[in-house]
Amino acid sequence: MTSPNTGPRTRTEEFTVASEHLLARVKELIHEGNTRRIIIKNSSGHSLIEFPVTVGVVGAVLLPVWAAIAAIVSLAAHYTVAVVKEDPPAT
């Protein structure tokens, strides 16, 4: 008999990053492969941008996201990045 929870599980990680490292960190998260959604919050905890990361999304498709992040960087010194990741299903 199969357990109803055998599908992928998600978890959320949050960390603080300085504005000058925000874009580089987001690029790293996208290249990790198991990232499903990225949320950038200001120091008050309000979401500034939230976008899904789908498999195979690279290059020109992400240009609007990079432009939005570049604009956000000028707003504050520190941000919280919330990352929703997918864990492989349990066997």
pTM of the model: 0.72
Q: What is the pLDDT of residues 35-78, one digit of tens each?
A: 888 899 988 889 988 888 875 555 556 777 778 887 777 777 78
* pLDDT band, very low/low/confident/very high, at 1 (cuts 50, 70, 90): very low
Contact 38, 86 (CB under 8 A): no
Q: Please give the Cα distance from 7 to 4 (Å, whole number).
A: 8
Q: What is the pLDDT of residues 38-47, one digit of tens each?
A: 899 988 889 9
Q: What is the pLDDT of residue 13?
A: 92
